[in-house]
Structure 1
Amino acid sequence: MIKKHLLALTLVGLISSPTYAADTFTGFGLGVDISSSKYSTFESISFKRTTGLGLVADYGFDFGGSNFVGIIEAKVKLNKEKILNDRYHHIEDEYSFVSGHHKVQEKIRFTLSYLQGYRVTDNFLPYVKVGYSSAKLKSEDNFKEVDAQSTTYDSEYASGKGKGLLYGIGFKYAATKNIELGAEYARSNVKFKSDKFKKNTFSINAIYRF
C-alpha cells in the first residue's frame, strides 16, 4: 500500500499543475508521517512489516536564491514496534539442547536528518538524506537448557538506547503554497547490546509550511 502511494505521489509531482513562487519548501514546517517498515538482522533473519505513526518538524532554506534547497528535519515515531521476535532451538550434542524466545521492542524513535534537494520545478523537490537515529529499546530473552541430568530455565532482560545512521531518498510536492506532500525510502542500521538490526522504511507525509 505504501509503495502504491509512493508511485501515485511521484506521478502527481511529475505532472506539473499549479506553480508557485520559487521560495517553496523553505521556512518552518510541521506535519505527520506514516511509515511501513521491515526489520532484519545482519544474519538475514527477516521479520514482518510494521506500521508507524510520527510527527515531523523541519526548516528549509535555499542557497543564495538558487534551486538547491537544504532541509533540517526532526522526526519522532510515537507508537511501539516489535523489532525482533525470534524462537530458536540449538542442539549442543546428542544429550543436550537450548531453546528459547528472544524479543526486542522499539518503544520510541527520534531521528535528526539533513535533506539536500533540488527544486526541479517550483512545486517538485527530489532529495537525498542522511541522518542519525536514537531509539528506546527493550529486550527479553527466555530460554531453556536441557542436558542428560537436568533442565534449566532462565530469563534475561535489558533496556536502553539503540543508535545508528540512516540514509535515504525521497521527494516533496507542493500541493499549495503551504501544503506539501511527500514520500520517502530510508534505510537505517541500529546497534543495541549484542543485536544489530537493519530497518527498511517506506513513508508518506504531509507538511504545513509556515
Structure 2
Amino acid sequence: MSTTRTIQVLVKLLPLIFALRKDRKKWIHQDNRELDLEQFRKNARKVLNSFISLGPVYIKLGQWLSSRADILPQPYLEELSKLQDSVPSAPFDQVKPIIEKDLGPINEKFDKIDPDSISGASLGQVYRGSISGQQIVIKVKRPGIEKVVEEDIKVLKKILPLALRFVDPNLRYSAKAMLSQFIETIHEEMDYTNESENLKKIKKTWQIPTK
C-alpha cells in the first residue's frame, strides 16, 4: 500500500511543486505590479484541490502551510486558508463504535447524542449531547485516522528527498525541520487526552470562587 500511495502522491504533487517553484521565484524577484495574479491563483487552486483529494493529512498540511508566508506567495496563502473551513464528517454509524469503545454504550452513558455533527475537521468531528440533563460536546477522531496519518507521514518522508531537488535552495535547508514540525503538530492535535487535560486546566483557572 505504501508504494502505491507514494506513487499516487508523487503524481499529484510533483507538477504542483514545479509550478510553485516558478511562482515563488517570480513573487520574490519581480515587481508585484507585473505579476499575473490570476495565474498564481489558478496554480494555488490546483494545490488546494489536490490536497483535498489526497485526504486528511494533506488537508492538515494545507492548513499548516496557509500561515507560512516564508514558503508560499500570498495567492497560495489565500487559497489554502479556505481549508480552515469545515470538512464533511464521516457518517455517525462509523463514529458510534469509536465513542462506545472509549466511553461505553451510548444509551447507558448519555441521555442522547445528536448524530449530526456540529463541525468536521480533517482529523476529527464534534457532536452535541447531554449527560444527566447537562449539555456537552463530544470530540471524536475520524474512523481509522491513526492508520491513515501514519501511512501518509511515511509517504511524506519518502517523497521529501525527491521533492527537494525541485525547490529553490532557500527552502532545502529548512524543509526537513519544517516536516518534523508538521508531524509534531499533527500528533499533538490527535492527542485528545492532552487536549482534555488542557481544557480542565483552563476551566480551573477561570473558575470563579464561591463565597
For the pair shown, the structure with the greater C-alpha radius of gyration is 1
- Larger relative contact order (CA 8 Å, sep ≥ 6): 1
Q: TM-score range by the shorter chain?
A: under 0.3
